[in-house]
Chains A and B, each alone.
Chain A
Amino acid sequence: MTDTQTASTVAPEAPAPAREAAPGVVHGLYTEGEPIADTKAPKGPIEARWNKRKFDAALVNPANRRKLTVIIVGTGLAGGAAAATLGEAGYNVKSFCYQDSPRRAHSIAAQGGINAAKNYKEDGDSTFRLFYDTVKGGDYRSRESNVYRLAEVSANIIDQCVAQGVPFAREYGGLLDNRSFGGVQVSRTFYARGQTGQQLLIGAYQALERQVAAGTVEMFSRHEMLEVVVADGKARGIIARDLVTGEIETHLADAVVLASGGYGNVFFLSTNAMGSNVTATWRAHRKGAHFANPCYTQIHPTCIPVAGEHQSKLTLMSESLRNDGRIWVPKNAADCEKDPREIPEEDRDYYLERIYPSFGNLVPRDIASRQAKNVCDEGRGVGPKVGDFRRGVYLDFTDALKRMSAEAVAEKYGNLLDMYQRITGENPYEVPMRIYPAVHYTMGGLWVDYDLQSSIPGLFVSGEANFSDHGANRLGASALMQGLADGYFVLPNTIRDYLAKGPFPKLEESNEAVVEARASVDARVQKLLSINGDRSVDSFHKELGNIMWEYCGMERSEEGLLKAIDLIRGLRDEFWRNVKVLGSADTLNQSLEKAGRVADFLELGELMCIDALHRRESCGGHFRAESQTEDGEALRHDDEYAYVAAWEWGGQDGAPILHKEDLVYEFVEMKQRSYK
């Protein structure tokens, strides 16, 4: 057992509720440990909690800040904003990213926008409504305190970004414009054409570089974190590989923040960047950080369909397109090969508008994705056949072009439509686009308390890498909000409560924990280079991705998940016997980088399946075939599953240990979601 069982966040006194043995336990796939609880969120009125926590969190005297070192892995919105802010406050920050520049973190690719409860449109928006929408959108599987705080600081984010020079879209009067996004009925999304993530990240990046110039932040680009150093039960540093020289380096600190993004690339094909990985969080998991709700993945409804075997990644078409585009398939399978422009109105099935008249094309992502899969499974998909089915539905701008003019459409969506044309060779101003769901975002991540501290003291986790705010499904434009909320406003205020106990005694490089961490990194690198088998890293990654997509994708069943677990174990075994990684450890070696990432995905994939297997309900992005209503909608079981599943690493040959954190709803009433 790891040292985390003694962490302050575990509340051993609470008795485990009696539940019947679940199949995962029956199959020996996991065991159940003590329940867990968030001990940091204050009680009382929800709107007072964040202020109270900020007040109660200890302060660090400005003169002491320079003596405190914080490592931040990741320079996306979550990590970049935190590094800049902690640097401004005077802490000594070391910032890491695997790209050649912090400006390239995957946040850059976010298109559609960022939510904030500014109520500039006077359409009835408020902090409470944003909170309510996010809890509901997450299918009642997130923590109320966290989500309320997110909604509360959302307005400050917009102020901060505008002050940095983020060029948000504006109206003719010079004020900020808003658009609406899936799952809500107000307009609260701020945007910069289809490049919102880029503009927000450049804002954070510039603030970060300003601190680099000021000497408070030291930047380590082209560095990959491969291990966390845990000494005396506290996170005290990381082991990183300089990707250019291959050197394995030790970096020690008083606290470590992981802002390393999501793990969607476990599916091989996803909308994530090629290098997005789980290594940072998975290595921390193996050292004692609980991994929460790993099976909650978001499959985004509007992506460009797979074109062939060679495909290396999938491209998202922002869901903002659903504001003006209409989604349909032919009513009759016989029409699926026809030119869509020749299919008359009465032979088209605008299925989202038909099934969900009040939200129509703007239903949440999980619902839009599943319905696309359903119509394709019925044989009404369009585009080329992939296997036995056509996997595509139309996203049609014809009506919008009539209503708004081509210029107005281009002004709003120009770069997206151009990108579509570049990738597919088809002109979306003339022919309806074809789209299909793709893996996009992971709601699961390392378990954190209200302070964003993991179950390893001194290890904090922010942005997509943690599990905290989106429950079982994330609403559009809420990840950017969370990344910046965590980075600019939450983490800098909560981490000081921990840092106030420091500086901690200096750790020597000869310390047992440091030596062990370094040795394990060295050994792994050597092992990967010495196997010299027959199969490339990519071939393993693709096979893993196929297993995950088939059995742990849009629909999951007990039978399929059990099969997937078997397949993954076999594949992992083969990987360590038969992978072929050429080149050496002491230069830039991209195959070696990929191999390490895939090795970790091969472990994570199994945990995702175990988590999906144990959760015998459907909620948000997690759809269990066995748990649906008569008309095929997701069916939750709040009496049994209204908890966060926080998994503890059970050792290389042991089974993971499940800790449940019960979710209590005091301010929002739990209902079955309805968007009809």
Chain B
Amino acid sequence: MNLTLKIWRQAGPQAKGEMVTYPVSDISEDMSFLEMLDVLNEQLNARGEEPIAFDSDCREGICGMCGLMISGKAHGPEVTTTCQLHMRSFSDGDEITIEPWRADAFPVIKDLVVDRSSFDRIIQAGGFISANTGSAPEAHSVPVPKPKADRAFMAAACIGCGACVAACPNASGMLFMGAKITHLGELPQGQPERDARVVSMVSQHDHEGFGGCTNVGACSSACPKEIPLDVINQLNKDLRGALMRGE
């Protein structure tokens, strides 16, 4: 198939960016979206134009490194990551716009590459269970009811890609954060630090410049791991409880 791509080009963090149009031809439907960009980059390189910078690593939908706004949708038209999107989701003649995640907390580094280190700092603020190496009791000493283990797992599936933030009109990181709060909060091991965790993470989130949640739900619809909105309810509930208990 033949397509018209409109792609955000920005030389550096401070540079002014613009949309540039690139026609591409002979794209096979078995290609992944990023393989299609690889093909374009090879052509640009051959013509002496600098290839388009974009992030990807595992290309299996699990590392969370990739992430593009594709015709206005985070990760494109399917419920999956950009790297797992295949060209069979498009048709001959389509015009596709490709932009980076846009959020104050995710500044653009170059072209389609953004800086998501704010997510790491939210985890540093409390997204862990303090258990020094060697201090762990025998694994079977604390059984975990299967429904709780399953819910923890569901929330732990977050890959930290940032699509939820990019999709949200307020650029809020609540789904990402709610997923971590739910993962650790469901487990007996996560209880001792539960109150402190939520208070500290939320404060870091606000400090990083993420917006507040107004229950739009765009985050969860864009999430490639289908993290449900109820993790945000869980977060709010935990936060209220923690504040009441004076954390």
Contacts and interface: CB of A to CB of B under 8 A. Distances in A.
A603 B163 CA distance: 39
A316 B58 CA distance: 11
Interface string B75-93: 0001010001010100000
A165 B187 contact: yes
Interface stretch (A168-176, A282-290, A448-456): A168-176
A99 B31 CA distance: 24
Contacts of A316: 60
Contacts of A108: 58, 62-64
A100 B55 contact: yes
B-side interface mostly: loop
A207 interface: yes
Contact of A312 (B34, B49, B128, B156): B34
B139 A162 contact: yes
B59 interface: yes
Nearest to A581: B45
Nearest to A210: B128
Nearest to B200: A213
A422 B80 contact: yes
A519 interface: no
B55 A422 contact: no
Contacts of B49: 582
B136 A163 contact: yes
A580 B45 contact: yes
Contacts of B227: none
Nearest to A537: B45
B12 interface: yes
A205 B156 CA distance: 13
B196 interface: no
Chain B CB within 10 Å, residue with most, of A101, A176, A205, A315? A101
A167 B152 contact: yes
Contacts of B39: 310
A576 interface: no
A274 B63 CA distance: 11
Nearest to B138: A159
B129 A588 contact: no
Contacts of A611: none
A409 interface: no
Given A313-B59, A590-B51, A582 B45 contact: yes
A109 B58 contact: yes
Contacts of B30: 307-308, 310, 425
Contacts of B138: 159
Contact of B130 (A210, A310, A315): A210
A412 B144 CA distance: 19
B125 interface: yes
A482 to B, nearest CB: 16
B132 interface: yes
Interface stretch (A195-203, A333-341, A551-559): A195-203
B196 to A, nearest CB: 12
A583 B50 contact: yes
Interface in A106-142: 106, 108-109, 118, 120
B124 A104 contact: no
Interface string B114-129: 0111011001110111
B146 A118 contact: no
B136 A159 contact: yes
A18 interface: no
Given A274-B57, A587-B12, A163 B129 contact: yes
Contact of B146 (A174, A315, A538, A583): A174
B117 A101 contact: yes
B109 interface: yes
B166 to A, nearest CB: 15
B9 interface: no
Best-surrounded residue of B80, B120, B130, B189 (most CB of chain A within 10 A) = B120
B48 A582 contact: yes
A165 to B, nearest CB: 5
Contacts of B127: 206, 209
B120 A244 contact: no
A118 B141 CA distance: 13
Contacts of B63: 99, 104, 106, 108-109, 273
A590 B58 CA distance: 16
B247 interface: no
Given A199-B156, A209-B124, A422-B84, A99 B57 contact: yes
A174 B144 CA distance: 5
Contacts of B190: 165
Contacts of A102: 120
A646 B124 CA distance: 41
Interface residues of A, number: 78
Contacts of A192: 153, 156
A588 B109 contact: yes
A587 B149 CA distance: 44
B143 A274 contact: no
Given A174-B146, A419-B61, A101 B153 contact: no
Given A174-B144, A274-B57, A422-B80, A538 B62 contact: no
B42 A308 contact: no
B232 interface: no
A568 B30 CA distance: 31
B56 interface: yes
Contacts of A310: 28, 30-31, 35-36, 38-39
B11 interface: yes
Contact of B137 (A163, A202, A591): A163
Given A101-B120, A274-B59, A312-B34, A206 B129 contact: yes
A156 interface: yes
Nearest to A418: B80
Contacts of A212: 120, 124
Nearest to A162: B139
Interface in B4-44: 11-12, 28-32, 34-36, 38-39, 42
B229 interface: no
Contacts of B215: none
B205 interface: no
A480 to B, nearest CB: 14
A109 to B, nearest CB: 5
Nearest to B84: A422
B199 interface: no
Contacts of B78: 422
A312 B115 CA distance: 24
Given A104-B57, A580-B45, A206 B128 contact: yes
A672 B64 CA distance: 43
A530 interface: no
B132 A88 contact: yes
A488 interface: yes
30 contacts: A99-B57, A106-B58, A108-B62, A120-B140, A156-B134, A159-B139, A160-B134, A165-B184, A165-B187, A169-B153, A176-B139, A195-B157, A198-B62, A199-B156, A205-B123, A206-B129, A209-B124, A209-B127, A244-B115, A273-B63, A274-B57, A308-B28, A312-B59, A316-B60, A489-B133, A536-B42, A580-B45, A582-B48, A582-B50, A583-B51
Shortest 3 CB-CB contacts between residues of A and residues of B: A174-B143, A206-B128, A163-B136
Interface of A: 81, 84-85, 88, 99-104, 106, 108-109, 118, 120, 156, 158-160, 162-165, 167-176, 192-193, 195, 197-199, 202, 205-207, 209-210, 212-213, 219, 221, 244, 273-275, 307-308, 310-313, 315-316, 419, 422-423, 425, 488-489, 492, 536, 538-539, 580, 582-583, 587-588, 590-591
Given A163-B136, A165-B128, A310-B30, 4 more contacts: A109-B60, A156-B136, A167-B152, A273-B57
